Structure 1
């Protein structure tokens, strides 16, 4: 048997609010009824007191009581007039023994008054609620004074409870009408509010909302990709652990504007953009991130969902892969050249010119061995030596001569203390690739590489014979996306930005200068182990400027 689905949160709130409004309205109505009933009794008592005292103070009443003749004949018409004009239900005038001289019912005249008269005989006006011949009533009894301040009679005036109840009932009906109107308006308002709540909660009940929140929090912390949600004012509404790590922010990022997070300007611009961004590559202080943004509209509120993927490792691997691809192409070219040279040597031997064949082969071997001996002799670090040899073959393939300067000297075991091998490939590989691209087509196309370890720093310098860099673009050349060449399928303008990022991670600097031959010179300085911390801090700041 399938259990019924629990009522939605909006439905539960509607039921609770409707009951609450009904209870409040009923309570107010009951309080108003009791209050009006009490006020009606108080007003009846004041009205009866005024009528009784007016009759007791009348000179004609005093004369009728103390004079000769039957008091009833004179007092009954008078009492009837007073009763009619004052709105009380009865006016009874009696002697000091309580025998009635007047009564609304003439048959009751001459009978004893039903009620208390003791306080009035002592000269005090008092009121009470008593059941008499006309039923329960609120009555007032007051003395009538004759000569020498002597009590000669009593006057009682009152209003029946039925009359008071009838007056209160009319007021209660008005209150009930107001209460019903308030209940209807409250119900309509509650329904409208809860209908809106139902739309926002998609008709889910409290348990479903709680479970969804728990899953939401677990998913945010479990996913490795970065996720940032921005509100309509471009403030951070939500950020998960992955995004905090990629952007270098903390818990205080929530509620702050994107411009206040201290991110690089291109990345800040991408997050603030109104249009969607798809797979854009951006750099932070030490990361390469792929950014996707998607605007979100929900009713009147708008925002942006931002996803971030860490591209740092992949970018490094792609750089290494590009280098390996270049090495492969260079080796293929060298193999082709070697085959050509071997055919030349064989042909010379077949022609009987063995001496010319030996001379030709020896010259080629000496030329190839010279660069290898120079690199291996100056650079004992295997990663750097292999990188320079590979790049030399790759540059030769593009018609550019790669020269290792005589200042180059790197001992084995030095680089792991200064720069990881992967960062070395990123820094020097990108600098050489850019230099080879710039030197192609120039007279005596050449790229000169210097790698030297000084007392406290490692210096890496790459100089080309290309056209150089316009001084107006000296700062922009390090920004992501800047390039003098058309963008390819994978985009351009990322190499120098990655170089500066890698140098910054090592606490170093990246500088651009004009080469003596008119080309460009890029210099990277990285502090060695044991460098002064203040110098490292300044270098980081300069690299990130």
Structure 2
């Protein structure tokens, strides 16, 4: 039986239980019917014997010389009218005055008469001339209370059994009905269990549950299980950490999905049950790549729910931002190297032509412009990561014929802000501004971006403004939603930059605002600065 499925074991167990219960019920019903049959026979014989004993004819016959002549016809008429097997009227010395068999008249009565002689009515089951019978014996008393005769009325056991046998088909039918209903219920229950357990046995189910628990809590990705009604079934520890919700407990039911403090977009996805692949969702601190598939039983068609995997790409995104900044700086260095080579060829050519003064003037002017570019950004008191980013962006803007003006207050210190957040905020805002001003076409069109970083009280104010065509939306807050982009839909990585900027600003406890007109767009970021010694 170890290899049997739970459905088969339960079906056989239920069927055996129903069979035992049916046998017990049938036995009890049979015993009850037998007792009722004997009780009914006792009641009938007692009532008839008492009625006969109350008749004045018995005392009159007892005083006559031939009681049988008077009583035998009377007894036979009673037997015929009441369907009892015998009515025996006897003298106190047991001598029969009446009997269904005339040859037994005058012979002694077979049975107990002591209680009747004592003036009491009683019933017994004993064997007589007609076989085993149920008989009631009633004394016949005169006016003085003396027993003058006794009346025994009885039915044979075979007669009682006939009555009992008439009830046996009903009892058997009841038993078969119980067995049929119990078997049907057991079969339906077994069929249901076979469907929900896939025909697996308890040993295999136990193994699968152990493996399932191990896999659920050992994978590095977050797993969330939701049923078809959109309610949370289970989630692992990794999912709890990624979503910022309490870890699951074995003693409590999972919380309702509507009560979880997770982003609305992710909550809607979990409740919808739709299938997605590598969809990006932002929480307060993390960038999650979410995939969701239906959970379908083997051989089934209807989904029981969904299985959702959560992958943390926050660090990967940060590395991507750093790589993008590094590439920007590398491209800028490559462009500067190319320009420097052209300028050096120009200086050498001027020297070969003997125009020393012109070569010296050209080199001095070129050195002055390069030093101005360096002094514009790099300062010993400023952040090297941000300075390197701006150097790359200045070169990138120059290549794209964009004028990038940088105004950096030397009193602003960003040491309390993570370099990753600085790169995310400044890099994405400048990239969007460059894409916006690149839409200004024509020889007379100017492409201007201004970056301003200054200190206001205990906050750092960062402004990035451009003279592009503007956003063109009445509600500018939608541009911070994940997936929104004004660029081509088929471009990769679109619709995430400004959402990451908002995420970083919110995590740092700052404020992000945007104003847009036809003359351009201004992004303003306020970030709280760390206060040391009472000064920011």
Q: Tell whether the structures are fold-level matches, with TM greater than 0.5.
A: yes
Gaps of 5+ in 2: none
Q: Match of 1:364?
A: 366
The structure with the greater share of residues assigned to helix is 1
**Higher mean displacement: 331-340 or 296-305:** 296-305
Any idea what the Cα deviations from partners look like across 1:21-70, whole Å, max 9, x if unmatched? Answer: 011111111111111111111111001011111222233333333234x2
- Residue pair 1:32, 1:172 contacting (<8 A) in 2 also: no
Match of 1:342 among 344, 364, 371: 344
- Bigger drift between 202-211 and 271-280 goes to 271-280
Once the two structures are superposed, what CA deviation does each residue of 1:317-372 show, in whole Å capped at 9, x if it has no partner?
A: 12222222222222222222222222222222222222222222221221121121
Question: What is residue 331 of structure 1 aligned with on the other side?
Answer: 333
Deviations 1:380-433 (A, max 9, x none): 22112111112211222222122211535444xx42xx2111121111111111
TM-superposed CA distance for 1:455, in Å, is 4.3
Residue 142 of structure 1: how far off its partner (Å): 0.6
Alpha-carbon contact 2:470-2:521 (below 8 Å) kept:
yes
Instruction: Name the stretch that deviates more: 444-453 or 89-98.
Output: 444-453
Partner of 1:519: 520
Matching of residue 73 in structure 1 with residue 69 in structure 2: yes
**Aligned residue in 2 for 1:283:** 282
User: Which structure 2 residues correspond to residues 101-120 of structure 1 after superposition, within 5 A?
Assistant: 101-120=97-116
Q: Could you say which residue in structure 2 is the equivalent of 1:540?
A: none
- CA offset digits 1:264-308 (Å, max 9, x no partner): 333233333353212111111211111112233556664222221
- Large movers: runs of 4+ above 6 Å: none
Query: Are 1:440 and 2:438 counterparts?
Result: yes
- Taking the aligned partners of 2:48 and 2:510, their CA distance within structure 1 comes to 107
320-329 or 35-44: which moved more? 320-329
Q: Which residue of structure 2 lines up, in the alignment, with residue 528 of structure 1?
A: 529
Q: How many equivalent pairs are there?
A: 522
SS of equivalent to 2:378? helix
Partner of 1:366, secondary structure, is helix
Name stretches of at least 5 consecutive residues in structure 1 with no aligned partner: 532-545
Deviation at 1:451, TM superposition (A): 2.6
2:15 to 9, 14, 18: 18
**Structure 2 residue aligned with 1:535:** none
Secondary structure of 2:474 counterpart? helix
* 1:248 lines up with 2:249 in the alignment: no
Q: 1:498 offset after TM fit, Å?
A: 0.3
Q: Secondary structure at the match of 1:511?
A: strand
Judge conservation of contact 2:230–2:272 (CA < 8 Å) in 1: no
- For the aligned residue pairs, the C-alpha RMSD in angstroms reads 2.4
Instruction: Write out aligned runs for 1:324-473 (5 A).
Output: 324-377=326-379, 379-405=381-407, 407-411=409-413, 414-415=414-415, 418-442=416-440, 443-470=445-472, 472-473=474-475
For the 8 Å contact 1:64–1:75, the answer to whether it is kept is yes
Q: CA deviation at 1:174?
A: 2.1
Give distance in 1, aligned partners of 2:303 and 2:420: 46
Q: Deviations over 1:95-146 (max 9, x none)?
A: 0111111223333222221222222223322222233333332211112234
Pick the aligned partner of 2:36 from 1, 19, 39. Answer: 39
Could you say which residue in structure 2 is the equivalent of 1:175? 171
Answer whether contact 2:434 2:449 (CA < 8 A) is retained: yes
Farther-moved stretch of structure 1 (499-508 vs 437-446): 437-446
C-alpha separation in 2, matches of 1:488 and 1:147: 124
Tell me which moved more, 93-102 or 368-377. 368-377
* Aligned positions of 1:159-238 closer than 5 A: 159-238=155-234
2:296–2:303 contact (8 Å) kept in structure 1: yes
Calculate the TM-score normalised by the size of structure 1.
0.89
